[in-house]
Structures are given as structure tokens and as C-alpha cells.
Amino acid sequence: MRKISYREALREGLSEEIERDKNVFIIGEEVAQYNGAYKVTEGMLAKYGEKRIVDTPISEAGFIGMGIGASMMGLRPVMELMFFSFAYVAWDQMINNASSMRYMSGGKIYCPIVIRGPANAGTNVGATHSHTPENAIANVPGLKVVCPATAYDAKGLIKSAIRDNDPVYFMENTLLYGEPWEVPEEEYLVPIGSADVKRVGKDLTIVAHGRCVIIALKAAELLQAEHDLDVEVVDLRSIRPLDEETICNSVRKTHRALLVEENKPFCGVGAQISHLIQEKCFDDLDAPVKRLSAIDAPAIYSDPLEKIQVPNVDRIIKAALSVG
Amino acid sequence: MRSASLDISHTAPTGSFDQHPINKKLKAEEKIKLLYEMIRIRKFEERALQAYNGGNIGGFLHPYIGQESVAVGSISVCEKNDHVITAYRDHGHALMSGMSMNECMAELYGKATGCSKGKGGSMHFFAPEKNYWGGHGIVGGQTPLGLGLAFALKYKGIKGAALCYLGDGAVNQGAFHESLNLASLWSLPIIYIIENNGYSMGTSLARSSAFREYLAKRAEAYDMDWAHSMGHDVFEVRASVQTALDRAHNHSRPTLLEISTYRYRGHSVADSNAEKYRSKAEIEDYKTNKDPITVFKQKLIDQGILTEETFEKIDQKAKAESEAAVKFAAESPYPSIESIREDVYWETDQPDGRTTQGRIFFNDEIP
């Protein structure tokens, strides 16, 4: 099968949906003339024109609030945040308005929006550009959160997100944009809320999302080769809704769990999953559930230190071996 | 506090607003209807305040009393593709958009029969089927949403406009300025209407705006047309909004409109300082000389259109409607516990509409 990059897969998904539905348009900073700050939308202005690919000033609260308003009237904006860290200047729109509009109107309104962009650290850009707010956003009823790790999932999930009638916050990773993966030529969707077992194993379950899945897969190979530990890697793909069944099925098989995320530890995604495992798989566990998160401080600038602050292969191996 | 040398070229047409074509064309019964709509809003709120003080309504309640001519005048000139969105002082806009007193009062009571099934409250009335998009609680938070309504109209090629209301307290919020910039940059058919009642909660304009001239003049920074009008005359409101609507409909250009008005009550029912940050004389002066209902009533009497008997009749009719609404609200059931988790996601509300998988709500136990 052909291999294309995560970035190209996203572009294919976006393009297919733009061609499928006249109400879909892309809006954001540098998405059109500049061809995208991370080139996800490269070539799309030339192909689809300025009605469908809309450049905005640096004005996140303004254009995201505008997109929410437009979605109330039936449009389907796909709004790009150059970094998800910039969500905070649009927080009132993204949290208060997008999540509550349907509720406060007693179900008279729905907001079919997608807000997408990279949400990751590890790129040597300092704390303000390295936030991973998937846990904070998933805390808000009314919103959906997805974090694809591969090009295949990115394409299938962006298409599902655009077709979804609820707000979907779609978190990518700048370190994954260039990563190739097998992606079929024919059209497909990946349903939101379905996890994927990316590696089958019997000794330990690693649950991860986003780029941590890729790191966990590398760590799993080394754990197999050097420590004879057969690791199963569960890729969440979606944070809310959450595929609890796939997580629990894996833990019931391996009896051990390590939860890996780039998020900070306090109330991170792993905290929710840890609660799930103790509630649903208490008698299946042979050891306490372990969590591996970013070291609990703002993202450090210094490059060699930041590579240690976020989960890496060495930290995952060490954590995996520490699960009793 | 205003500059003595205001540029009146930007203000609404001067002279008798009675002679403006949009008002001149009104039949006698249409003029009486305008008066009735203002009375209807006032009676609704007076009755709601009673219910609040009687302990039947909780939370925030921001009365519009004194400002009725703004919602009535502006919405009365709207056409079928014009849309309305406002902030939390929203009862007047909701009723004028065609919402019933029953659904609005029941919402204040937190009942299942409320317009938002008891999930929104005073600040969050909605009726999208009547082109009324809320009711928004965060100061300035509705201003980009209004922009989205206008964007969608233009995107779909529909000749219409969005009327987005805000208070004078919202003009210093960042989202509002972002919205003004985008509105003008993209030539969107929106009318921002600042209902300037002089106070953002307890803070007077003099203490909140560094700019000493008309608030609407800030539009010049965004190359946007603006105007100022006096709000106590419903005919003046209609005339100035019509000018802005023509601009939106025919040229897809935005307008920032400032309408001077006044609220008699506090910022909300809970505002115990309503007579401390302003003088009693100030409130009395407005009530006596510029009350929009009294002013318009007198105008219609002077024109020979209205008699005291007719006024009494419509006044009683509105009062009776508000009484009936209280009865309806009081007798309505509260929402069910199950309904707490309804209307959260579109897809979980559809019997066969689920497209995603996995768990979407996360309580271990619910009552």
C-alpha cells in the first residue's frame, strides 16, 4: 500500500470533505496564501478558492467565535489553530460558547465545528507554545476530543470530525506531520470514539494517544528484544468519547497497565483511565497501574532537557519495567 | 463628559423622525402595536421581578425596564432574513422577536416548559426558528457569534443582516474589537448596536472609557460607518436602524450604532447599589421626561391615534398576559433528572443518530 505523510493525509481528508459538502470551509491564520504554517493546507487555496480557504488576521477569539456563530446557521467551519496553545486566547468562545450553546438553548441549536491544530511539546519553543490541553477540553461536556497518532487515523478521523454534528477538537502534533504511514487510495472513515490496538502483546498494556503511541511502539520493540516483555499498545485515538471496552479488554488479558501521555500528570487523561481500570478491572490486575506523563513543570526550552521532560523511549522502558 | 464638538455628520438624520419614510408609512394600528410591544416587555419584567422577590425565580435577572424602545424599534424594522443576537439583558429582544411570555416566564422559573427547558435561565433565551439566537451571559462573548451569523448569510448568498446588541460595558472587551475589525475587513452585513445605558454594572462610562466621545466613534479605527441615536424615541431608533440595515442589505457593510438609553433598575436584581452609584434625581429625570412608553404614548395621543381608553385596554391586556404566564410557569413541572444529560451532544439526543463509539458521559453514579 502507498505511504503518505500525516500532513498529506490530513490534506486529503480536508479536500475530500470540501468537495463533498459545500458548507465546509477552512479558516485560520496563514491557511490560504501562505499555504499553512505547517503546510497542512498547501495548495488548497489554488484549488478551492478564497471562499473555501479563508485567511484570518491573528484574532483567535474573533474568528473562532465567528465560526461558532456560522455553524449555528448550518455552515461547517474547520478552524485551524496554528498551535493549540493559542486556544487560551479564544477560551471563552471554545469552552463557554461552543460547549454550552446546545444545552442553554434546550437543544434548539447545534454547532458542527472542527477546531484543529498541533498540540504538543518537544519542539524547543518554550512553554507558551507547548500546551497539550486535551485533558482540559475533554473535561467539558458538549465537546469531543480526538488525538490521531498516524496518517491513516488522521485522515479517517478528520473526515469523521467534519461530518460530526457536535464540536470536535482535533489535536495533531508538529513532530508527526512528516511521518509516513500506509494510507489506502480509496475513501474510508475512522469512527470517533474507537481505540485501536497498534501492537498485540500479552505481558503489559500501554495506553497512549498522539505521538506517545509512536514512542510506545518503539519502546515495545526494545522491551521485547532486550527484556522479553511482550507489550500491547492501545492507541486511544479519541479522548472523548472514550473507548473503554478496548482498554479493559487489553488489561484483562495482560493484567498490567502503564498509561503514557505527553500531558502533565495532574488530572491528565491517564488519571481518568486509571480510575476506569481500577473500577472495571480491579480483580484482573496483578500490579498497581502506573502513569508516565510530562515532568510536572511548564515546558522547558532547553532542547536536551525537553527531550527528557516529555515521555521518550528510555522513560517508557524504565516505567514499563517498574510495573510490578 | 462628552466632547462639546461632536461630529454630528455621523449621527442619525435629525429633524422629525415621525417624517422618516420608515415611520411615515406606519398605519395607526401599527403604531399602537409598537407601543403595545414596549408595554408587553415592561409588564413581563415587572411581573418577573415580583416573582423573583417572592422567591420563585433565582439566579441573575437583568431587567430591561427603561430600554424597551431599543429592542422594539430595531427589531420592528427587521425583515425575514435578518437575525438577532444579544447579551444577558435579553428579555426584551426575545419577546420582540416573537417569543411567548409563557415560555420565557417558565424559563425564569427553571421549568421544563421554558424556552430552553429550564437549562438556560434569564440570560439564555433562544428561538432560532424566529431568527433569535440568544441570550449570552459573558460580556462581549456574543459579538463574534453575531459576526458568524452575518458571515453565514454572506457565504450562502442570502440578503440579510445580523443585529448584534451589546451594552456600553462590552465595548472594552477584546472579542468585540476583534469582531469590529473582521466585520469591516470582510464587509459583513452586521449591525452592532451598543445600548448605552451609562453604566456597566456599577461603573459609569467616565470610569470605564478612556475615549471621551461617542463610543460608536471607535468604529472609525476599523473604517466602519457609525451613528448615534437617542433611544427614548422608538421612531428615532427605527430610523437609524433602517439606515444601517439598508447599508447591510445593499452594500454588505457593517455599522456600529450607539443608542443612548437608560435602565431604571439595577444591573441585576441582585444589584443593591443601584441608587448609590447614581443619583435618585438622575433616575427620576429619565422616568419623567424620557420614558420610552410615556413619550410614545403621548406622541400617539397628540397625533389623535390613541385615547386613554385604548391605552388602558392594551396595558391591561399585557398585564393579563404576564399574569397568565406566571400561572403557566408556576404550574409547569421541573425538568426530569434524566434531562440533565439531554441536549449536551447532538448525537446522543438522536434516537438513531449515534455515529461515534465509546463512552461519552462519565459519572460512576447518577441519581
Sheet of strand B83-85: strand arrangement: B83-85, B162-167, B190-196, B255-260, B225-230
Cβ under 8 Å to A: B residues 293-322 = none
Alpha-carbon dihedral angle through residues A158, A164, A167, A173, given to the nearest 10 degrees: -10
Cα B165 to Cα B87: distance, rounded to the nearest angstrom: 7
DSSP B333: P
Contact state of A97 with B357 under an 8 Å Cβ cutoff: no
Which one is predicted more confidently, B367 or A110?
A110
Which one is predicted more confidently, A14 or B210?
A14
Q: CA separation (Å) from B347 to A107, A143, B292, B309, B357?
A: 11, 12, 46, 54, 11
Q: pLDDT exceeding 70 applies to what percent of chain A?
A: 100
Q: Is residue B366 included in any domain, yes or no?
A: no
CATH no. for residue B117? 3.40.50.970
CB distance from B147 to chain A under 8 Å? yes
Query: In chain B, whose CA is at the least distance from the CA of A65?
Result: B144
Catalytic residue among A8, A29, A60, A179: A60
- Does the ipTM exceed 0.85? yes
pLDDT of residue B283: 87
Q: Do domains A3-182 and A196-322 have the same CATH topology?
A: yes
Q: Tell me: domain A3-182, CATH 3.40.50.970, correct?
A: yes
Query: Which pLDDT tens digit goes with each residue over A57-107?
Result: 999 999 999 999 999 999 999 999 999 999 999 999 999 999 999 999 999
pLDDT of residue B7: 42
Strands A180-182 and A3-5: antiparallel
Cβ under 8 Å to B: A residues 196-235 = none
Q: Scanning the structure block, which residue is given the C-alpha cell 478491572?
A: A281
CB distance from A63 to chain B under 8 Å? yes
Q: Is residue B364 included in any domain, yes or no?
A: no
Q: Which residues pair with A196 in a beta bridge?
A: A235
Contact state of A240 with B360 under an 8 Å Cβ cutoff: yes
Catalytic residue among A17, A29, A80, A129: A129
Task: Pick from A18, A54, A108 the residue to mutate for testing the B interface (most B CBs within 10 Å).
Answer: A108
Of A65, A72, A110, Cβ closest to residue B346 = A110
Q: Is residue B162 included in any domain, yes or no?
A: yes
Q: pLDDT exceeding 90 applies to what percent of chain A?
A: 100
Q: Using an 8 Å Cβ cutoff, are B189 and B154 in contact?
A: yes
**Contacts of residue A111, Cβ cutoff 8 Å, sequence gap at least 6:** A68, A71, A72, A98, A101, A102, A166, A167
Contact state of B117 with A59 under an 8 Å Cβ cutoff: no
CA distance A314 to chain B (A): 32
Q: CA separation (Å) from B1 to B5, B203, B261?
A: 12, 14, 16
A239: helix, coil or strand? strand
Contact state of A279 with B364 under an 8 Å Cβ cutoff: yes
Cα A109 to Cα A104: distance, rounded to the nearest angstrom: 9
- Residue A177 pLDDT grade (very low, low, confident, very high; cuts 50, 70, 90): very high
CB distance from B272 to chain A under 8 Å? no
Examine residue A288 and say whether the peptide bond preceding it is cis (omega within 30 degrees of 0): no
pLDDT of residue B279: 86
B167: helix, coil or strand? strand
Of A62, A102, A279, Cβ closest to residue B182 = A62
**The three grid cell numbers given for residue B123, joined into one nine-digit string:** 440570560
Query: Which pLDDT tens digit goes with each residue over A234-249?
Result: 999 999 999 999 999 9
Query: How does the average pLDDT of chain A come out, rounded?
Result: 98
Is residue A50 among the annotated active site residues? Answer: no
pLDDT of residue B367: 86
Handedness of CA B18, B23, B29, B34 (dihedral sign): negative
A-chain CB neighbours of B145 within 8 Å are 65-66, 68-69, 72, 93, 97
Is residue A179 among the annotated active site residues? Answer: no
Contact state of A65 with B361 under an 8 Å Cβ cutoff: no
**Contacts of residue A122, Cβ cutoff 8 Å, sequence gap at least 6:** A130, A175, A211, A262, A306, A307, A310
Cα B367 to Cα B365: distance, rounded to the nearest angstrom: 7
Residue numbers of the domain that contains B83: 18-334
Cβ under 8 Å to B: A residues 141-180 = 141-142, 144, 160, 163-166
Contact state of B145 with A160 under an 8 Å Cβ cutoff: no
Cα B151 to Cα B177: distance, rounded to the nearest angstrom: 17
CA distance A222 to chain B (A): 31
pLDDT of residue A149: 98
Residues in chain B where the model's pLDDT stays below 50 = 1-14
Cα A150 to Cα A154: distance, rounded to the nearest angstrom: 6
Contact state of A142 with B345 under an 8 Å Cβ cutoff: yes
| pLDDT at residue A318 is higher than 50 | yes
Cα B344 to Cα B361: distance, rounded to the nearest angstrom: 10
Q: Which residues pair with A170 in a beta bridge?
A: A116, A146
The domain ranges of chain A are: 3-182, 196-322
CA distance A296 to chain B (A): 26
Contact state of B119 with A104 under an 8 Å Cβ cutoff: yes
| Residue B230 one-letter amino acid | M
Q: Scanning the structure block, which residue is given the C-alpha cell 524547543?
A: A124
**B349 C-beta neighbours (distance < 10 Å), count:** 17
pLDDT of residue B4: 33
| pLDDT at residue A231 is higher than 90 | yes
Q: Using an 8 Å Cβ cutoff, are A21 and A29 in contact?
A: no
pLDDT of residue B264: 87
Query: In chain B, whose CA is at the least distance from the CA of A273?
Result: B362
**The three grid cell numbers given for residue A256, joined into one nine-digit string:** 498490567
Per CATH, the architecture of A196-322 is what? 3-Layer(aba) Sandwich (3.40)
Q: Is residue B344 included in any domain, yes or no?
A: no
CB distance from B187 to chain A under 8 Å? no
CB distance from A194 to chain B under 8 Å? yes
Domain count along chain B: 1
CB distance from B74 to chain A under 8 Å? no
Cα A299 to Cα A303: distance, rounded to the nearest angstrom: 10
pLDDT of residue B10: 45
Contact state of B358 with A75 under an 8 Å Cβ cutoff: no
Task: Pick from B82, B126, B131 the residue to mutate for testing the A interface (most A CBs within 10 Å).
Answer: B126
Q: Is residue B2 included in any domain, yes or no?
A: no
pLDDT of residue B8: 41
Q: Is residue B86 included in any domain, yes or no?
A: yes
Q: Is residue B323 included in any domain, yes or no?
A: yes
